[in-house]
Structure 1
Amino acid sequence: MTTSTTSFISFFGATGGCTNACLVHTLNAGFHATALARTPSKLTDMLLAQGVAQSTINSQLTIVKGDISDIPAIKSVLTNNSTTLQLASQIISGIGGTPQMQMSLRRPVTIDNPEICATATKNIVQALQEIYEAQPLTAQHRPSITVISTTGVSDVKEDVPFGFQTLYHVVLADPHKDKKEMERLVLENSGSGRAFRGAVIVRPSLLMGDQSVKRGQGWEKLKVGHEEKPAVGYTVHRADVGEWIFEKVVKTGDYGESFFGQKVTLTK
């Protein structure tokens, strides 16, 4: 069995705004990447619309057709769809569901798959564990993971402005329950001897705009905090969140190690 020498970053939820923007910056900076997509052509079209050259997509990106319930497809994304011993150096996950209204005064908003974030995390962990068991040498190079969560789920300090607290703690309670469980699973499976080398949890305030990197205001303008001292604000642009993840996690060369174990709040 051969060993690959080209490092790469694995993306889950790459057709979502924040993750797609991060992938655009990643490819344009010359990194190699893999991505899971139910409809690969949709992801390709989104990248082309963002100005990523077809030649760049062909040479630097491997798209695996499948969804987050497909363990073999997840394993292909994590191993560059090959039989090499190398794993992705980093995982970027922006998996999320589609909001849906329901007839309930207590929980008016749910999502199409109420446990999608937690399920995605469990499946990525399972895929990694199966890879480690089948190819023990890969366990020496475990990937880090960065997940996109949300403000409004902290048990430590309120990170949502007063004007949005009803929206977050009542209207969005169901989707946020899933995000909170995702965070727990990610941290539980991070550290020495576990599925992930380390984990970064990104908690943006209310997401606005789309994935277009040209419409963002720039990652340098974001206010950045952590759970004990959160950056509190109303909104943040998806493209700026994606660019921040690229600049502070993907691009650094240390897999985001300086943020391992942190719950990073981002707002404008």
Structure 2
Amino acid sequence: MSATTIAILGATGGCANASLVHSLLAGYDVRALARTPSKLTSQLLAQGLTQQILDQHLTIIHGDATNVDDVKRTLVSSGKLVSLIITGLGGKPVLQKSLRRPVTLDNPGICSSSIEALLSALRAAYDENPSTPAHKPLLAYVSTTGITNGPEDVPFGFRFLYHVLLAVPHEDKRKMEYTLKSHMAQPENERLLRGVVGVRASLLTGGIDYKAGKGWKTLRVGTEESPAVGYTIPRPDVGEWIFEELIKRDGGEWVGKIVTLTS
């Protein structure tokens, strides 16, 4: 059994769910925050995990990712903080009557507000237990291409879709990234995280089935400075890449970087 303990937010979404499945099968202990625990359990059992594995390695916390107390309960168990946090939160697209912004989200601020809650939860945990900051967690978050400050990371044929039609959903991701970038720019002793890895995926395809991808080794990987540009990527492959490169390797060489992933 690994000594790494993982907290996952957004575990019922395809990317984070695949990371969760791979982690449980590998024997990692995972704490997952879910608004509907029965939904998450059903998803995992449907993918072939046994109840024994869930009972042994998974703790589901019923709550909301924008609620500081719920997030803190997810991050801390018996006074100990998790060592790795994965967030794959995102809203569901909703059409609206607007020529300029035809697509919004059912919860337009979920990514940015949940990151604020996460930082507040960590701060509260450190205040309650002064020894906790000696074991700060690593954070990996799932974002999107199309919001870069570097070279264009969206192929020409998708730029209208990304920069116009999906402007509202992507603004939430941009705010989330800005919050984390600003936080990590603080002096080291004031940071609540030991490191951050951003995972910007191209247009996500597929649903909840960790076996439905093409395999994480088939992906093209870049960084914000030198992006891998492509059209789509299966959700299960994003989750498997996170497991192989970030969970198993504790972030590896990606800590402090924004990674771009595409098929």
Task: Report the TM range for the smaller structure's normalisation.
Answer: over 0.9
Partner of 1:32: 29
Match of 1:258 in 2: 253
Q: Which runs of 5+ in 1 are unaligned?
A: none
Paired residue secondary structure (2:31): strand
- CA distance in 2 between counterparts of 1:73 and 1:190 reads 23
* Residue of structure 1 equivalent to 2:135: 141
AA aligned opposite 1:135: N
CA RMSD of aligned residues (A): 1.2
Structural mapping, 1:11-50, within 5 Å: 11-50=8-47
- 2:84 paired with 1:90: yes
Mean Cα displacement is larger for which, 129-138 or 184-193?
A: 184-193
- Aligned residues: percent identity? 50
Q: Deviations over 1:176-214 (max 9, x none)?
A: 011011111122223722111100000000000013122
The equivalent of 2:166 in structure 1 is 172
Deviation of 1:216 after TM superposition, in Å, equals 0.9
Structure 1 stretches (4+) deviating beyond 4 angstroms? none
Q: Distance in 1 between matches of 2:61 and 2:111?
A: 19
Equivalent residue, structure 2, for 1:73: 70
Residues 166-205 of structure 1 aligned to structure 2 (within 5 Å):
166-190=160-184, 192-193=188-189, 194-205=191-202
Using the TM superposition, give the Cα deviation of residue 28 of structure 1 relative to its aligned residue in structure 2, in angstroms. Answer: 0.2
- State the shift of 1:105 in Å: 0.7
Shift of 1:162: 0.4
Q: Between 234-243 and 257-266, report the one with greater CA deviation.
A: 257-266
Aligned partners of 1:239 and 1:15: how far apart in 2?
A: 12
Distance 2:222 2:156 in 1: 18
- Kindly provide the amino acid, as one letter, of the partner of residue 119 in structure 1: S
TM-score normalised by structure 1 residue count: 0.94
Q: Does 1:218 align with 2:212?
A: no
Alignment check: 8 A CA contact 1:69 1:120 kept: yes
So what's the TM-score if we normalise by structure 2?
Answer: 0.96
- The answer (yes or no) to whether the contact 1:125–1:189 under 8 Å persists in 2 is no
Q: Distance in 1 between matches of 2:259 and 2:211?
A: 24
Give the conservation status (yes or no) of the 8 Å contact 2:33–2:61.
yes
Shift of 1:6: 5.2
Name the counterpart of 2:125: 131
Aligned amino acid, residue 199 of structure 2: V
Mapped to 1, the partners of 2:107 and 2:211 lie a distance apart of 31
Q: Which amino acid aligns with 2:174?
A: K
Q: What amino acid is aligned across from residue 236 of structure 2 in structure 1?
A: A
Matched residue count: 259
Once the two structures are overlaid, the 10-residue window that deviates more, 256-265 or 220-229, is: 256-265
Supply the AA of the counterpart residue of 1:162: F
